[in-house]
Chain A
Amino acid sequence: MIRRLLALFSQRYGVLAVCFCVGLLAGCAVTNQPIVTSAFEESEIPRTTRLDMPVAPKTPLSINVVVFDYDVPERLLTPIREAESGYMAVTLSNILQDSGQWAGVYVLPIANEYSEVQISARILHSDASLLHLQVEVHDATERVWIDREYRARIDDEAYGTDALPESEVFAHLYHQIANDVGALQRSLEPSDRQDIKQVSMMRFAETLAPDAFSGYLTTSELRIDDTLRTVYQLEGLPALDDPVFRQVQEILLREQAIVELINTQYLRFHQDLLSVYPYWRRYLYELSGTANERRRESGNWAATESVYRQYEEARLNEDRLRVLTKSFRDESRSTSAELEGTVVELSGSLAQQYVRWRELLSLRFIEDRGALKLNSYP
């Protein structure tokens, strides 16, 4: 009900509605109610939207961006969407990093259950002039921060001669997401952020040793629209010198190592794509009717050739995107990681490697815990 009112309000009053939402959310946070926002407003993000860079909270949270999801299109475009899904996730991650609001920003191949804050997005539409995303942000307690669509359209100016070729033409959309999620973090009390961090840690601990740590968390069902969500609450914390808990913390550090490694691979992929993807998008835009209206009067061979060159460049860049996506897939199929002085070879997609690494850590944890028990009973 409240959300519908918010939606109605936001449709009518735009920016004011966002302020109202944030204010209300701040209140919610204080009263330990679910932090939920779902703007139904689907108006396009204004091109003038800039990245807010206010003073960061004292103990900021970490945020993970999951590689964007997409509907599998025709086979022809699959490599392009695959490239976009990584490219867009890293673009958002870079902007979140630039906002200076977060303790850490990482790109993950798949969602994990213990991220302090996690952004998932689905590409609903992507072409040279329109980007439309469905974005969901939630924290480790599973409370939804954002669940809405973001849509941005661009005009000739974005691809004009003044614009840097590699600049992100949909920057305003990413800025809006970063601003929204940043504002929600700032609306939290320090104790709420602390709760989220602790729930994150305990959820990680619970996956490793449910018998030892499940009692520290309770769950409750929360109805959001017609969907029931399980929300986690912290009931207590293990003693700081609990040896098993200390092991969990060590395992978490090792897990973080692979997250950073994977993140680096995505950053490299993004760096490679920067020399192709923006150009591909630009040539597609040039070919589209919007930009062409201005040149319609030409009608000479130069105009014909110019159109062909745009088409040729778009297709050549599409070929390069296919090559880059394939080479990223091939090159990232094997990773060497060190685990307790042993080099472990991980293979498969980054998602598979990540899952495998977590399995290995889990096994190692069980072995260590067994040793710990044995040592406890000499």
Chain B
Amino acid sequence: MHAGAFNQALFRMTHLIRFSGCVLMVTLSVTGCLNSGPPPVEHHPRVVDFSGSWEVDFGRSDDPRQQLLLLFDRMAERVSLQADRRSRYEIRQMQEDLSGIFQLAEEMTRSTAINIDQSRGYVEVRRNENFALVCDFSSRETSRRLIGPGVEYCGFDETGQLVFVVRLREGLTVTNRFVMAHDRSRISMITSLDHSRLPYPVTLRRMFMPYEEGESAWKCEFTLAKKTTCWFRSDDPEVAVEEAG
């Protein structure tokens, strides 16, 4: 019974990945402790300047599909190894969680371009196909926002890298960490999803390289009427296809 459900979950995942057009570099953080949660966010005087426009570095990205499948298999295997210690209901739920969390992870890392505005005490990371990550870290109070029983917080860690964490009800914690290369040639965006019912967090990494506004082949715009529309610069925006809601 539960094997059937697992196969179904795996099929859904495979199907999802097959049709995913995004290029991701994915790593599974197997070193993470069991549901250890996000690292503490410190307000460190050493902060890195992330401002600018960044787009996905396709050249440095591997094809994620095989990796994602492999990682899913490995994680599913770990879950099934616990079958003797857990009830069938728990195992089925973990498999559902696993499938769901991978799907969310894939969705959360679809952004191909990010634009970062950074000033004293404030950072706004605008991502295409996703909501902006905004941090007012002028004080410890302002960098924390309560969301019902959940909490959102942000700031710079001990190495001066930018971290956003949201802990939501129902056990989901999402961490977005932005790490700048020493020569400012790349930003690595590490998205980590942790669920209280899963043994490991799922961590996905994407590399971004800088570009000057106006250089990118794509131009995206948000309007209420058309929502987000993107088009090739040489094309007429009127014929653009609606990309996202």
Q: Check B131 against A75 for contact (C-beta < 8 Å).
A: no
In the bound complex, CA of A284 to CA of B149 (Å): 11
A276, A288, A307, A320: most-surrounded residue (chain B CB, <10 A): A307
Residue from the list B97, B122, B134, B148 in contact with A304, Cβ < 8 A:
B97
In the bound complex, CA of A315 to CA of B132 (Å): 7
Q: Check B131 against A316 for contact (C-beta < 8 Å).
A: yes
A interface residues, how many (CB within 8 angstroms): 33
In the bound complex, CA of A237 to CA of B42 (Å): 68
Question: Which of A57-65, A92-100, A247-255, A295-303 lines the interface with chain B?
Answer: A295-303
Which B residues are CB-close (under 8 A) to A322? 132
In the bound complex, CA of A308 to CA of B174 (Å): 10
Who on chain B is nearest to A313 by CB? B131
Q: Check A300 against B166 for contact (C-beta < 8 Å).
A: no
- Chain A: minimal CB distance from B193 (Å): 9
Once A74-B138, A75-B121 are accepted as A-B contacts, the answer to whether A304 and B100 lie under 8 Å apart by CB is yes
Once A308-B172, A311-B147, A311-B166 are accepted as A-B contacts, the answer to whether A301 and B93 lie under 8 Å apart by CB is yes
Q: Check B142 against A289 for contact (C-beta < 8 Å).
A: no
Which A residues are CB-close (under 8 A) to B224? 272, 275-276, 320, 324
B32 interface residue (CB < 8 Å to A): no
Q: Check A75 against B138 for contact (C-beta < 8 Å).
A: yes
- Chain A: minimal CB distance from B194 (Å): 11
Which A residues are CB-close (under 8 A) to B135? 76
In the bound complex, CA of A129 to CA of B51 (Å): 36
Q: Check B150 against A76 for contact (C-beta < 8 Å).
A: no
A305 interface residue (CB < 8 Å to B): yes
Give residues 88-115 of B contacting A (CB, 8 Å).
93, 96-97, 99-100, 104
In the bound complex, CA of A76 to CA of B68 (Å): 35
B213 interface residue (CB < 8 Å to A): no
Which A residues are CB-close (under 8 A) to B172? 304, 307-308
Q: Check A74 against B170 for contact (C-beta < 8 Å).
A: no
Residue from the list B93, B139, B145 in contact with A300, Cβ < 8 A:
B93
Inter-chain residue pair count (beta carbon < 8 A): 80
Who on chain B is nearest to A272 by CB? B224
In the bound complex, CA of A272 to CA of B195 (Å): 37
Once A292-B149, A301-B93 are accepted as A-B contacts, the answer to whether A307 and B131 lie under 8 Å apart by CB is no
Map CB proximity to A onto B173-200 as digits: 1 under 8 Å, 0 otherwise: 0100000000000000000000100000
Which A residues are CB-close (under 8 A) to B157? none
In the bound complex, CA of A323 to CA of B96 (Å): 37
Map CB proximity to B onto A305-346 as digits: 1 under 8 Å, 0 otherwise: 111100110111011101110000000000000000000000
Residue from the list B93, B96, B141, B170 in contact with A307, Cβ < 8 A:
B170
- Chain A: minimal CB distance from B235 (Å): 23
A17 interface residue (CB < 8 Å to B): no
- Chain B: minimal CB distance from A156 (Å): 13
In the bound complex, CA of A75 to CA of B139 (Å): 11
A287 interface residue (CB < 8 Å to B): yes
Which A residues are CB-close (under 8 A) to B166? 311
Once A300-B96, A304-B97, A323-B222 are accepted as A-B contacts, the answer to whether A75 and B122 lie under 8 Å apart by CB is yes
Give residues 73-92 of A contacting B (CB, 8 Å).
74-76
Which A residues are CB-close (under 8 A) to B168? 287, 304, 307-308, 311
Map CB proximity to A onto B119-153 as digits: 1 under 8 Å, 0 otherwise: 00110001000011011101101100101111000
Residue from the list B100, B131, B141 in contact with A305, Cβ < 8 A:
B100
Residue from the list A272, A289, A318 in contact with B149, Cβ < 8 A:
A289
In the bound complex, CA of A311 to CA of B104 (Å): 13
Map CB proximity to B onto A257-289 as digits: 1 under 8 Å, 0 otherwise: 000000000000000100110000000100111
Q: Check A303 against B170 for contact (C-beta < 8 Å).
A: yes
B44 interface residue (CB < 8 Å to A): no
Which B residues are CB-close (under 8 A) to A275? 224
Once A308-B168, A316-B131 are accepted as A-B contacts, the answer to whether A76 and B93 lie under 8 Å apart by CB is no
Which B residues are CB-close (under 8 A) to A76? 122, 134-136, 142, 145
In the bound complex, CA of A319 to CA of B125 (Å): 11
Which B residues are CB-close (under 8 A) to A319? 126, 131-132
A76, A290, A306, A323: most-surrounded residue (chain B CB, <10 A): A76
Q: Check B170 against A287 for contact (C-beta < 8 Å).
A: no
Q: Check B104 against A287 for contact (C-beta < 8 Å).
A: no
Which A residues are CB-close (under 8 A) to B131? 312, 315-316, 318-319
- Chain B: minimal CB distance from A322 (Å): 8
Which A residues are CB-close (under 8 A) to B52? none
Q: Check A307 against B169 for contact (C-beta < 8 Å).
A: yes
In the bound complex, CA of A316 to CA of B168 (Å): 16
Which B residues are CB-close (under 8 A) to A303? 170
In the bound complex, CA of A272 to CA of B169 (Å): 31
In the bound complex, CA of A287 to CA of B104 (Å): 18
Which A residues are CB-close (under 8 A) to B99? 301
Who on chain A is nearest to B9 by CB? A301
In the bound complex, CA of A292 to CA of B150 (Å): 11
Chain B contact residues, CB within 8 Å of chain A: 93, 96-97, 99-100, 104, 121-122, 126, 131-132, 134-136, 138-139, 141-142, 145, 147-150, 166, 168-172, 174, 195, 222, 224
A sample of 5 more A-B contacts (CB under 8 A), given A305-B100, A305-B104, A319-B126, is: A76-B136, A272-B224, A275-B224, A308-B168, A314-B147
8 interchain pairs, CB-CB under 8 A? A74-B141, A76-B122, A76-B134, A301-B100, A305-B100, A305-B104, A307-B170, A311-B168
